[in-house]
Structure 1
């Protein structure tokens, strides 16, 4: 199973359009917020189901956290602002461990972060639109095969 992971697209369709050829090959897309409405844009452009949460720049009345299973792995998705991810992932780690997640997806900082801690894969794909901290514009594709997750960073 291939899962595209995006965040912080901020309604900048010119950058999302560059990601479409990669994302349309996925089985699922996860959008970690800012801007929630972009999940609909990505669905319309790719035809791939998009699961999304709202971020601190969103005004939509939608979920701010999701917990679901895909590819045999348990995913916890949030934007990250409520877990102070700009200052570290300690609060996020506590929540992900308590939820029994295999993968925790977040955004907010606009900085790419890929790390495994205590068996949980933490992924911030950075921002397609407004990268920070030396990160490139991009996103991540997870390829789950035989219980293993391969992480591929895509720069656009």
Structure 2
């Protein structure tokens, strides 16, 4: 299963358009919040289903979930924006949540800084932002491949 991961798009359609060639080839797209309304556009132009959660800037958006859990092949995936877990300071609270839910992969956003880290057998992924990168990072998105239990991840700069 090929999963496109995007976050913190903030209604910058020109930046989103640069991600579309990569997202079109995915089986699923995950949007980790800020601006969840962008997912309507992404789904329409890619024709790929989108799993999305609300971020701290989505207070005016239509109802959406703050967290989502789903299975990707044999891996349990947890998606949140991250602002409710203090991810700009530490991944500890998010790591505890992952342990409580028996999660294999955590996808989050909020910091606009890319991250790929494994802690106690759990993979934590933040794709950064295609529109407003921070921390010296480049604009980008992530591609997660899960095949026969094997996980590979690539961050793509746009």
Q: TM-score normalized by structure 1?
A: 0.98
Q: Per-residue deviation at 1:146?
A: 1.1
Corresponding position of 1:148? 150
Tell me the SS of whatever aligns to 1:131: coil
Q: Aligned-pair distance for 1:70?
A: 1.4
Offset, 1:101: 0.6
Q: What residue in structure 2 maps to residue 34 of structure 1? A: 34
C-alpha distance in structure 2 between counterparts of 1:109 and 1:135, whole Å: 11
What is aligned with 1:93?
95
* TM-score normalised over the length of structure 2: 0.97
**Alignment partner of 1:142: what SS?**
strand
Report the secondary structure of 1:127's partner residue: coil
Are 2:29 and 1:49 aligned? no
| Runs (5+) with no aligned partner, structure 1 | none
Please give the secondary structure, in 2, of the residue aligned with 1:19.
Answer: helix
TM-fit CA distance, 1:139: 0.7
Pick the aligned partner of 2:104 from 102, 115, 130: 102
Residue 70 (1) aligns with residue 63 (2): no
Distance in 1 (CA, whole Å) between partners of 2:103 and 2:13 is: 31
Deviation track 1:59-102 (CA, whole Å, cap 9, x = no partner) reads 22210000111122100100000000000101000001111110
The Cα RMSD (Å) is 0.6
Instruction: Specify the SS of the correspondent of 1:87.
Output: coil
4+ residue runs over 3 A deviation? none
The alpha carbon displacement at 1:43 in A equals 0.2
**1:136 paired residue among 130, 135, 138:** 138
1:145 Cα deviation from its structure 2 partner? 1.0
> SS of the residue aligned with 1:116?
strand
Deviation at 1:136, TM superposition (A): 0.7
Partner in structure 1 of residue 9 of structure 2 = 9
Task: Determine which of 104, 111, 114 is the counterpart of 1:112.
Answer: 114
Q: Which runs of 5+ in 2 are unaligned?
A: none
